[in-house]
A and B are shown apart, each in its own frame.
Chain A
């Protein structure tokens, strides 16, 4: 990797990572939204709070590290690999979030917040998929790196 680190970041690469970088930043925001929902339900339903915090934190960590690593990538292959790894993680966390937040047990105290968290998870799932498909089609990396 040391050789690739010395390469200058090209304009092409900057353009290429724009979409996954934006998607990753939006996923970070979605993670923060779910975390805030978790804090909001703290007093009313502890089990729901734990699940909101868990998914929010996972999404936040996967997206924020992905954003950081992507902005540091100096070649297309490296950027593509970061996209694949973090894209799938964001996607899968989103899938988990949707399944949990449609369950009545976790949303009985605040159905509207549950619906909001489910929508945020669905968006994260779509964004994760966008990152993966973009990396596969535009950066030419495999679906698993």
Chain B
């Protein structure tokens, strides 16, 4: 542990001026165990959003379809997230640091902001506002439970652990994850009992059933952006494969469980009424715990990822950036909570639209690391290796082109509608970007045409 902190400047020549290793690789003495990585991932997953996602499935399919869709969707997420997490485990750099290798120096700015800077901050605002709503539902009479006030203090609370950095996220996840699992399980059983018991589940048929492929699309869409930024956490892993294992286990075991159980609760009660089920069972304390900590462990990660992305090109300390983004986000959520009639729906629609453009960014990243770098003959553990004086391209133009084509395909602009009904939008975008990048990059490289524009030499600060 700390003994290895004495690593010489030859072994670790970097100076972390922004904090939390935003611009430089994570040093060996800061790397964490597999269990730590698993708990942080699980902390992100353990939130009410995933339960609402499962609940939405429960309104659209019977139990058999929901189980099949969840398992298939989770397998897809495991593969995408596992591949991305491995890159972080090898490079020990954040997603946005990795984007420098893939898209070039400016590409990391543009696509980092697109991938996380804007969406993760946006979701921070939305989830802070939802937190306010939830607290208001639990204690409508209390002044501090007014949607506006609850959004404000909730947002600031969530900012604290993001301000501390990775250690703060991990600390909260250690405390919350098993307790959240127990409490949510209790709410499932209570809800199923009050909703009419297990018999009702087997006989349930949705009023407007949707095709299985649409259910799979929803499962993948729920977390595919999270799957692409897995490197933000896996860069702290001691072994390259740890991030992938941790990601895979939490998706295949916990996400599958949460989604199916939430769907069952919805089938029994007619809606995703976790708080209601908990209050009916007398689990008042548990309802507060799940509402506060469930949102907190997820939303601090949103803020953390957003700050990581912005810090690639905004030259201030990461903690200050977290504070600024956290306060702005909390104020925005509180404003919406205070102003009667205000709604975040247009903003949510914008974030959903943006979400379709994100998987292609991951598609190019996977193609470059696993295929193009291999084609170039670079050994796996040497790929994306950072060293002082390394020259980055300013722009890797085939990567930009592939990403744009992938995004357009996912939007349905380049694909027949029938394809998008069978294959999830996010997967279409990711696969299209993957293929287009390789079709462009490999033949161009073979023909001796440079795929890179410009050069930037990195200094000891990672700038």
Chain A residues proximal to chain B, CB less than 8 Å: 47, 50-51, 54-55, 58, 62, 77, 81, 84-85, 88-89, 91-93, 95-97, 99-100, 102-106, 140-145
Contact A91 B175 (CB under 8 A): yes
Instruction: Apart from A58-B181, A92-B178, A97-B182, list 11 A-B contacts with CB within 8 A.
Output: A54-B182, A81-B33, A84-B174, A99-B285, A103-B282, A105-B283, A140-B2, A142-B1, A143-B174, A144-B32, A144-B167
Which of A58, A105, A142 contacts B182 (CB under 8 A)? A58
B388 to chain A, nearest CB (A): 28
Number of interface residues of B (CB under 8 A): 32
Contact B174 A88 (CB under 8 A): yes
Chain A residues lying within 8 Å of B285, measured Cβ to Cβ, are 99, 102
**How far apart are the CA atoms of A92 and B178 in the complex, in Å?**
6
Which of A55, A99, A103, A141 contacts B1 (CB under 8 A)? A141
Contact A51 B174 (CB under 8 A): no
12 contacts between A and B (CB under 8 A): A58-B181, A84-B174, A85-B33, A93-B179, A95-B289, A100-B286, A103-B190, A104-B282, A105-B193, A140-B1, A144-B171, A144-B174
Contact A55 B182 (CB under 8 A): yes
B384 on the A face (CB < 8 A): no
B189 to chain A, nearest CB (A): 5
**How far apart are the CA atoms of A51 and B193 in the complex, in Å?**
14
A1 to chain B, nearest CB (A): 10
Chain B residues proximal to chain A, CB less than 8 Å: 1-3, 32-33, 35-36, 167, 170-171, 174-183, 185-186, 189-190, 193, 280-283, 285-286, 289
Considering residues A62, A105, A140, A143, which has the most beta carbons from chain B within 10 angstroms of its beta carbon?
A105
Chain B residues lying within 8 Å of A58, measured Cβ to Cβ, are 178, 181-182
**How far apart are the CA atoms of A93 and B281 in the complex, in Å?**
19
* Contacts A93-B178, A99-B179, A144-B171 given; does A51 touch B185 at CB 8 Å: yes
Which of B171, B183, B281 contacts A104 (CB under 8 A)? B281
Which of A77, A92, A97 contacts B176 (CB under 8 A)? A92
Contact B280 A105 (CB under 8 A): yes
B288 to chain A, nearest CB (A): 9
Contact A96 B174 (CB under 8 A): no
**How far apart are the CA atoms of A143 and B32 in the complex, in Å?**
12
Chain B residues lying within 8 Å of A106, measured Cβ to Cβ, are 186, 281
Chain A residues lying within 8 Å of B1, measured Cβ to Cβ, are 77, 140-142
**How far apart are the CA atoms of A48 and B57 in the complex, in Å?**
27
Contact B181 A96 (CB under 8 A): yes
* Contacts A102-B285, A103-B286, A105-B280 given; does A93 touch B182 at CB 8 Å: yes
Contact A92 B177 (CB under 8 A): yes
Residue of B nearest to A96 (CB): B182
**How far apart are the CA atoms of A50 and B36 in the complex, in Å?**
28
**How far apart are the CA atoms of A92 and B174 in the complex, in Å?**
8
B404 to chain A, nearest CB (A): 40
**How far apart are the CA atoms of A11 and B178 in the complex, in Å?**
34
Which of B2, B179, B189, B280 contacts A96 (CB under 8 A)? B179
* Contacts A77-B1, A93-B178 given; does A51 touch B33 at CB 8 Å: no
**How far apart are the CA atoms of A141 and B2 in the complex, in Å?**
9
* Contacts A77-B1, A99-B286, A143-B171 given; does A89 touch B281 at CB 8 Å: no
